[in-house]
Amino acid sequence: MDSSHVSALQLKHAGIERQIHEELSRPMPDAVVVQALKKRKLALKEEIGRF
């Protein structure tokens, strides 16, 4: 896989990290949303790790 694909995955990973941070900084963070975002982030991290 080329580096542009890995870069795109890293950008998505960073975006999800930002979404998690935004959700956690709310007065009443939604644990279900945070959990779903963390699962997506982990899946991306694993995909990046394959390259």
Mean per-residue pLDDT pooled into runs of 10, the chain (51 residues): 89 98 98 98 95 83
pTM given for the model: 0.86
Domain hosting residue 35, numbered range = 3-49
Q: Is residue 42 within 8 Å of residue 4, measured between CB atoms?
A: no
Count up the domains in the chain and report the number.
1
Question: pLDDT at position 2, please?
Answer: 80
Question: pLDDT at position 37, please?
Answer: 98
* Dihedral of alpha carbons 19, 14, 9, 46, sign: negative
